[in-house]
Structure formats: C-alpha cells, structure tokens
C-alpha cells in the first residue's frame, strides 16, 4: 500500500495494490502499520459506517464542530468524486479544497483530518462509501455547508441529481463564520 501526501496538510491518501486473477481481485483496504507510518493512530478509529448513493447524488459538505472528526473514506463499490475543504484556522490552505476520485476498482482511500469538511458526488449507480471514524457521532456537533457555495466554487463533475433536504438548504460558508469558530481544531 502506498501513502500519498497532498497539498492540504494532514490529508493523506492510501493506494493499495489489488491482486487480480480470473476470480476478481483481493485488496487490503486497511493496515495498522501503514496507518502508523502515515502518522495516524490506527486504534483511534471507533466507528465504521457505510453509505450507498445513487448516480449524481451529492452528500455534504459536512464538518463536525468541537474537537472535529478524523475519518478514513473509501469507495468500496462504484466510484465517487470526493472533496475535502480545509477549515482549520491557521492552516496555510485554509478555505481551499482538494478532490479525489475514489473507486471500488482501486480501493483507494483518503484520510480527512479533524477541522476539514467533506462531501462527495456519486459517479456510478450505486456507489458504496465506507467510513472509518475516530469519534462517536454527536448530532449536536454536525454542521453542513452549501455544496454549491460560490466562494468555494467546487466543480462537481455531474449535474447534481439529488441531495438530502439538509444539504439542499445548507447556508454558504460566509454565513457560518461564527459557528465554524466552534471547531476546536487549529493549525499552528
């Protein structure tokens, strides 16, 4: 498995080397020692979750207030356009975003550190997304930012077919400055 760094500090990619044969493939999707080499504590993950999305669906942009939430995201089946937005005060890449294509064929994943917002668009029908999360969910800490925020100008690759109600009515980043101040994650 290869570890990759990105333009946003703390956002790390993992690219496994699937072994293919006539039956299909086998791929290691998580390795504690590789996580340690990337600077992550593999024992910090306390929840695994899965979402399934239809073609064109956008989920996000979501962030956790308080201590934030680190998560390892992988598209286990299908493909997604995955987006990470750095909202850590003091970060040299504050308010910038990166995108990745995660796919079930490659089994690649991305670690999203606390203080970064996350969203994705399903490029296939369906797309199954696996999350390994480092904190128990607390709905009172959930914050959603408009996926079509003009300031961020995320270039979603497909027309947005469907979102949740909360994602559809989420305010832009500029309207959330006070609430984002409650994200305890800072970069020195």
C-alpha torsion sign, points 98, 183, 31, 92: positive
Letter string b/e over residues 69-106, b meaning 16 or more CB atoms within 10 A of that residue's CB:
bbbbbbbbbbbbbbbbbbbbeebebeeebbbbebbbeb
> Which entry of 20, 131, 137, 147 is annotated as an active-site residue?
131
Please give the backbone phi and psi of residue 34, each rounded to the nearest 5 degrees, phi first: -65, -40
Q: Rounded CA gap, 82 and 70, in Å?
A: 15
> Which entry of 62, 94, 118, 137 is annotated as an active-site residue?
62
137 has catalytic annotation:
no
Closest CA to 80 of 55, 111, 117: 55
Q: Rounded CA gap, 158 and 54, in Å?
A: 12
Closest CA to 156 of 147, 165, 143: 147
62 has catalytic annotation:
yes
Please give the backbone phi and psi of residue 10, each rounded to the nearest 5 degrees, phi first: 95, -20
Q: Which residues are marked as active site?
A: 62, 131
């Amino acid at each position: 498995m290869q570890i990759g760094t990105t333009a946003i500090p703390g956002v790390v990619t993992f690219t496994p080397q699937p072994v293919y044969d006539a039956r299909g493939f086998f791929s290691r999707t998580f390795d504690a020692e590789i996580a340690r080499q990337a600077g992550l504590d593999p024992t910090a993950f306390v929840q695994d979750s899965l979402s399934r999305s239809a073609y064109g669906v956008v989920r996000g942009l979501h962030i956790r207030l308080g201590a934030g939430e680190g998560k390892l995201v992988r598209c286990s089946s299908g493909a997604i356009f995955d987006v990470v937005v750095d909202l850590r005060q003091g970060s040299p890449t504050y308010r910038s975003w990166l995108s990745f294509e995660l796919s079930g064929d490659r089994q690649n994943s991305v670690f999203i550190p606390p203080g970064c917002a996350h969203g994705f668009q399903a490029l296939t029908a369906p797309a199954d997304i696996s999350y390994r999360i480092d904190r128990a969910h607390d709905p009172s800490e959930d914050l959603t930012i408009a996926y079509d925020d003009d300031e961020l100008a995320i270039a979603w690759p497909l027309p947005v077919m469907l979102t949740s109600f909360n994602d559809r009515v989420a305010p832009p980043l500029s309207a959330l400055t006070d609430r984002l101040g409650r994200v305890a994650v800072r970069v020195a």
